[in-house]
Amino acid sequence: MTSAVIRGRGLTASAYEARRPDFILTGALMLLGVLSVLMIYSASAPRAELLGADPAADAQKQAVIVFVGLVVYGVGSLIEHRTVHTVAPVMYVGAVGALMAVLLWGSEVNNAVSWFSVFGFQFQPSEWAKPAVIVMLAALLAPAVENKIEWRRVLTALGLMGVPVALIAAQPDLGTLLVVAVLSAVMLFAAGASIRQLSLLLGSGGLITWFAYNQGWLRLVEERIDAWLNPEQNALALAFQPLQSQIAIGSGGFSGRGLFEGTQTNLAFIPEQTTDFIFTAVGEQLGFIGGTLVIGIYAVIVWRLLRTAAAAEDRFGMLVAIGVASMLTFHVFVNVGMTLGIMPVTGIPLPFLSAGGSSFTAMAFALGLTHSIWLYRSKVPARRPTIG
Amino acid sequence: MINPWRLAALGLGFLALFVMLTVRLWFLQVAAVEENVEKASANQIQIVYQQPARGEIRDINGTVLAGSRPSQTLQLDRAAVTLEQEEELVQKLSVLLSVEQSEIRNLINSARSGTVVTLARDISDEVAFEIQEFKEDYPGVDVALIPVRTYPFGTLAAHTLGYTGRATEADLERYGDRVKTDEVFGRAGVERQYDNVLRGTQGAEVFTVSADRSVMQFTEEVSPQPGWNVVMTIDLEVSQILKQALLDAVVLSEALGESPTGKAAGLVLDATDGSIVAMESIPDYNPNAFVGSLSAEEFEVIQENNALLNLNVRGTFAPGSTFKVVPYVVAVEEDVWPEGLDGPDDGKELLPRLEFPSFGEGSPQVFTDWNPNHGWTDLHGALEKSADVYFWEVALGVWEDNSLDESIIQNWARDLGYGAPTGIDLPGEAAGIMPDREWRERLHEQNPVAFPNGEWYGGDLMNTVIGQGDLASTPLQMAVSYAALVNGGTVWRPRVVDHFVDNDGNVVDRREPAAVRKVDIAEETVQMLREDLAGVVRRGTAAAVFANSPYRLAIGGKTGTAQIGAFDDDVDTAWFTGVAPIVSPKYIVVIVVEEGGGGSAVAAPAVRTVLEYLLDPATAPRRNPEIEAAAG
């Protein structure tokens, strides 16, 4: 009996023993961090110089953010995902609370209330809401069985998603709302929702959107989409950024104008260039080669995340990895797509490249959690599904 | 765990999104690159930059010293007219505005083709009406309300405020197409030093233009951000008093039979934080004159008088006896005393003359005091009576004491702020000269023709300690050094700007007081110097001027009468540096009148007026009665 306990313990210990870290994932993250500081410097320095301010100020700030982000990533990697599993509801309630707080006490920037200051730091709760929703949904859907998810569970998932979505919609922050909706749908799909369930959800989602559109609740969205479809004829207030952005990227050509050589980036007006439109700086200065490289780095990260999902030790881990992968992919697609004119303008940052602390650290934390799932992955190959 | 087909579907889905981005990127950057270049060259999007409102400059109490007013401006859009039409317009406008045709033609030609030219400012309502009523007769001409810089107080504080002007070649190079013809740039003073802050951020109007360049769509996109308002440390009231005191001092000097050059400078420095309370310089100019188009003659007059020069920071003068506080402090702190004396209270009968070894070719040089009858004198008396011989003997002590650095007096002076720019936030500050052996040798090496003498003699040091010879100081340096000596050793980096305010009245930034260095002076020395500066006013060289001042016990100071040129004793530059309240000094007032005569007779009365006003703004006379009488 004694020996069985010891053996059992030993088994347990070895099953959860940390494995070799994912150097490719970690390396990709660090590469993006370095690129972020460089690009923000190139996009902010000339203007700052013109205004007589410190040209390196924005880049220095970002360097600190990147450093903190990497630390957060490391911390996330060390947290065993079973711990996360148990505290998921706490994280979720905390995130919802922060979203409520920001509506009550937040400050308005660009007609949206999405920020508030904590001890002098700007804090954007919607960035942290995304990982919280992922973790919560993963905890909810982990016990479900492929193709046999009860409707009750699906509706609970919708409800859990709905609360933060409604709070984010009130800010309003269209981009984040879309990301949360999409990642929830993807997680339901990965958890094993049946085709019937998914099509019903999709159908009713479509109906609600159609209704809201007809009620005129989506005027803001309407304008954005109209600007996106008819940029040249449209009021340039809305099409200004994407058009300038496309010209900037287009002028980069195959190999780019060279680092710190972009004229559009440096002198023309691309508002919010260090934040949401950072990809224009990449496109103009580093050209098709640099742009593809950046997209490639994201693809590599997503590949590592899917691999983690496949190797995960339990369904919770798998679902978190899928959630983070879909969040990242959709972020990149919506943001880069917006600068390339194939998506409407929605204010969401490009993960790990855009200036800003909340986005970088929240994303780094999510990535760290997934990395931890990789570190504590199943040791037994038989329990791992094959991929490809 | 996860159904393989679901994972595969997700992987493919994600991959598809990344591929879409890459394809689109390829399309934009490689496939359609020619189209994009064409797009760019056809200028389908045209940006017109909008000028932000220039920030105001205010005095410490919020009074606007430089602001903006709307001006009816006649503009011609060169893009809208042909060359023939332009020629026709020149004739019509010449009649309408009653100016020479050539003048209008020059204005038009000075602007690049396709841009908007300002033809006349502040046009009358009749002219504006004519243009607007008969628009078709004046193609491309329009009347616009353009903000124009205005300085409500004219010449007052003009040198500190500076002035604005149109873009120069250098500006065009820097800002390119973003410069509009009616845009102004700071050219001097605060307008120039804080140009970036005052200008604000340009806005942009964005047009889409079709191939024939007609505007298809127009939307304001980025609104201009107005510049910050600059709040100076300058006090307008004090400036008025100071300016009048300077003008009166020149008149007084003339009344006394001197022939002043008309150049005079004065400033009030806060010894507790380095802020400039007032700074005036004459001759002066009216910055409003630069707003319109200044005629060549007008500009020449201003240039010829050197009226643009802020003598407080750009003028260097021999400081004369006002400099004696430096050897005074060196004597005490370094323990160097005239022969036979030991300490500040130890005195002796001063000789009227002093023979100094080795001047020129080794021959002894005899120096004669300006007053041969100083009698028994200790350090206190030496400062009060401004006894040259006493300080010469201190210099001799330094010269002959091999254990002391030969340049110790100059080093002290440099520490106190002489010989280098003080770092004030105004452009073009002069460094002044603090001569010593090294300086002399360097000049000679650099240019042996202009400076044949590369040697440094004891006589040079003698001249230096009484503020003569090659020594040159700006009035500002004088004020900064006095502030440091009486405040216990803090050498301030003087400042004329205190903080910045945005249009909603929020303070957006501050220029905190900053010390350049702290000079180590014993507290007793500082105390003693204050008492002796008070002694100058109570019984010394300035006693007569302050005799009937109700504030004489609160004031200290030092006179200075600097000889110009070695052989002409009659031409003196008058200095006075005043300190008040002398028990805990706050204000340093320095006034210098070039070739104005004696410091006590000419500069001290002017300083008295300013100090009395500072001590008691409510009841003190705003002009010195004696000077007022002299000025008539």
Q: Count CB neighbours of B3 within 10 A.
A: 15
Q: Among residues B486, B462, B465, B520, which one has the least CA distance to residue B334?
A: B520
Residue A237 pLDDT: 46
CATH number of the domain that residue B184 is part of: 3.90.1310.10
User: What is the C-alpha to C-alpha distance for residues B231 and B623, in angstroms, rounded to an integer?
Assistant: 27
Q: Chain A: residue nearest B208 by CA?
A: A232
Residue A35 pLDDT: 94
Residue B612 pLDDT: 92
Q: Which residue has the higher pLDDT, B440 or B53?
A: B440
Cβ of A295 within 8 Å of Cβ of B21? The answer is yes
Please identify among residues 156-185 of chain B the ones whose CB lies closer than 8 Å to any CB of chain A: 176
Residues B227 and B240 in one domain: no
Q: Does B222 touch chain A (CB under 8 A)?
A: yes
Q: Does B46 touch chain A (CB under 8 A)?
A: no
For B450-487, what is each residue's pLDDT tens digit? 888 888 888 888 889 999 889 999 999 999 999 999 99
Q: Residue B40 domain-assigned?
A: no
What average pLDDT does the segment B580-603 reach? 91
- Tokens 């039979």 map to which residue? B257
What are the phi and psi torsion angles at A166 (to 5°)?
A: -65, -40
Kindly state the DSSP code that residue A350 receives in the 8-state scheme.
P
What average pLDDT does the segment B599-605 reach? 89
Q: What is chain B's mean pLDDT, rounded?
A: 85
Residues B226 and B342 in one domain: no
Q: Residue B25 domain-assigned?
A: no
B318: closest CA of chain A, how far (Å): 37
CB A166 within 8 A of CB A213: no
Nearest CB among B25, B26, B36 relative to A251 is that of: B36
Q: Count CB neighbours of A184 within 10 A.
A: 24
Q: Which residues pair with B77 in a beta bridge?
A: B116
Residues of A in contact with B5 (CB under 8 A): none
* B9: Cβ contacts below 8 Å, ≥ 6 apart: A189
Residues B244 and B226 in one domain: no
Q: Does B225 touch chain A (CB under 8 A)?
A: no
B98: closest CA of chain A, how far (Å): 41
Q: Does B32 touch chain A (CB under 8 A)?
A: yes
CB B236 within 8 A of CB B63: yes
Residue finishing a domain among B232, B255, B281: B232
Q: Give Cα separations from B518 to B417, B483, B531, B588 (angstroms).
A: 11, 12, 22, 18
Residues of A in contact with B37 (CB under 8 A): 251
Residues B384 and B490 in one domain: yes
Lowest-confidence pick of A311-325, B59-73, B107-121, B203-217 = B203-217
Q: Which residue has the higher pLDDT, A145 or B421?
A: B421
Residues B221 and B305 in one domain: no
Residues B567 and B624 in one domain: yes
User: What single string gives the DSSP state of each residue in B301-368?
Assistant: HHHHTTTT--HHHH--B--GGGGGHHHHHHHHHHT--STT--STT--EEPPSEEEEEEETTTEEEEEE
B515: closest CA of chain A, how far (Å): 22
ipTM: 0.88
Residues B406 and B527 in one domain: yes
- Tokens 């350049």 map to which residue? B516
Beta strand pairing status for B587-593 and B376-377? unpaired
* A231: Cβ contacts below 8 Å, ≥ 6 apart: A239, A242, A243, A341
- Where does the pLDDT of residue A248 fall: very low under 50, low under 70, confident under 90, or very high at 90 and above? confident
For B274-320, what is each residue's pLDDT tens digit? 999 999 999 998 888 877 655 667 777 777 778 889 999 999 999 99
- Tokens 């983690």 map to which residue? A308
Cβ of A288 within 8 Å of Cβ of B25? The answer is yes
User: What is the C-alpha to C-alpha distance for residues B338 and B578, in angstroms, rounded to an integer?
Assistant: 27
| Structural domain range at position B107 | 47-232
Residues B471 and B388 in one domain: yes
Indicate if the pLDDT at residue A42 is higher than 50.
Answer: yes
Residue A224 pLDDT: 65
Q: Residue B548 domain-assigned?
A: yes
User: What is the C-alpha to C-alpha distance for residues B102 and B96, in angstroms, rounded to an integer?
Assistant: 14
Nearest CB among A287, A288, A333 relative to B17 is that of: A333
Domain count, chain B: 2
Q: Which residue has the higher pLDDT, B68 or B206?
A: B68
For A49-83, what is each residue's pLDDT tens digit? 655 667 788 889 999 999 999 999 999 999 988 88
CB B125 within 8 A of CB B188: no
- Where does the pLDDT of residue A240 fall: very low under 50, low under 70, confident under 90, or very high at 90 and above? low
Indicate if the pLDDT at residue B390 is higher than 50.
Answer: yes
CB A257 within 8 A of CB A247: no
CB pairs under 8 A between A and B: 153
For A327-374, what is each residue's pLDDT tens digit? 999 999 999 998 888 888 777 899 999 988 889 999 999 999 999 999
Above pLDDT 70, what percent of chain B? 87
Lowest-confidence pick of A342-356, B27-41, B111-125, B507-521 = B27-41
User: What single string gives the DSSP state of each residue in B190-253?
Assistant: HHHHTHHHHH-B-EEEEEEE-TT--EEEEEEEEPPBPPPEEEES--HHHHHHHHHHHHHHHHHH
Residue finishing a domain among B181, B199, B232: B232
Cβ of B21 within 8 Å of Cβ of A332? The answer is yes
Q: Give Cα separations from A345 to A223, A328, B603 (angstroms).
A: 10, 18, 69
Above pLDDT 90, what percent of chain A? 36
For A137-172, what is each residue's pLDDT tens digit? 999 999 888 878 888 999 999 999 989 988 888 877
Cβ of A271 within 8 Å of Cβ of B222? The answer is yes
Q: Residue B29 domain-assigned?
A: no
Residue B329 pLDDT: 95
CATH number of the domain that residue B605 is part of: 3.40.710.10
Cβ of B220 within 8 Å of Cβ of A146? The answer is no
Q: Does B22 touch chain A (CB under 8 A)?
A: yes
For B341-380, what is each residue's pLDDT tens digit? 988 999 888 888 887 766 555 566 777 888 888 889 999 9
Indicate if the pLDDT at residue A241 is higher than 80.
Answer: no
Q: Which residue has the higher pLDDT, A37 or B623?
A: A37
- Tokens 């934390």 map to which residue? A365
What's the per-residue H, E or C state across B59-92?
CCCCCEEEEEEEEEEEEEEHHHCCHHHHHHHHHH
Residue B212 pLDDT: 42
CB B598 within 8 A of CB B561: yes
Q: Does B15 touch chain A (CB under 8 A)?
A: yes
Q: b/e string for B453-491 if b means 16 or more Cβ within 10 A? A: eeebbbbbbbbbbbbbbebbbbbbbbbbbbbbbbbbbbb
A64: closest CA of chain B, how far (Å): 24
Residues B219 and B240 in one domain: no
Residue A121 pLDDT: 63
Structure-token pair, residue A332: 């990149």
CB B484 within 8 A of CB B490: yes
Residues B220 and B250 in one domain: no
What average pLDDT does the segment B203-230 reach? 64
Q: What is chain A's mean pLDDT, rounded?
A: 81
Q: Count CB neighbours of B212 within 10 A.
A: 5
Q: For an interface test with A, give the residue of B5, B12, B18 to mutate (most A CBs within 10 A).
A: B18
What average pLDDT does the segment B201-219 reach? 57
- Where does the pLDDT of residue B47 fall: very low under 50, low under 70, confident under 90, or very high at 90 and above? low
Residue finishing a domain among B212, B232, B252: B232
If residue A308 lies in a helix (H) or strand (E), which one and from where to where?
A: helix A278-311
Cβ of A387 within 8 Å of Cβ of B8? The answer is yes
Residue B165 pLDDT: 81
Residue B496 pLDDT: 95
Lowest-confidence pick of A85-94, A233-242, B267-276 = A233-242
* B311: Cβ contacts below 8 Å, ≥ 6 apart: B263, B264, B265, B281, B474, B475, B592, B594
Residue A123 pLDDT: 75
Residues B245 and B223 in one domain: no
Residues of B in contact with A326 (CB under 8 A): 10, 14
- Where does the pLDDT of residue B210 fall: very low under 50, low under 70, confident under 90, or very high at 90 and above? very low
Residues B280 and B308 in one domain: yes
Residues of B in contact with A269 (CB under 8 A): 47, 204, 221-222
Q: Residue B250 domain-assigned?
A: yes
Cβ of B45 within 8 Å of Cβ of A298? The answer is no
- Where does the pLDDT of residue A109 fall: very low under 50, low under 70, confident under 90, or very high at 90 and above? low
For B53-105, what is each residue's pLDDT tens digit? 889 999 999 999 999 888 888 888 777 777 778 888 888 888 888 888 888 88
Q: Does B23 touch chain A (CB under 8 A)?
A: no
Q: Residue B26 domain-assigned?
A: no
User: What is the C-alpha to C-alpha distance for residues B487 and B523, in angstroms, rounded to an integer?
Assistant: 10
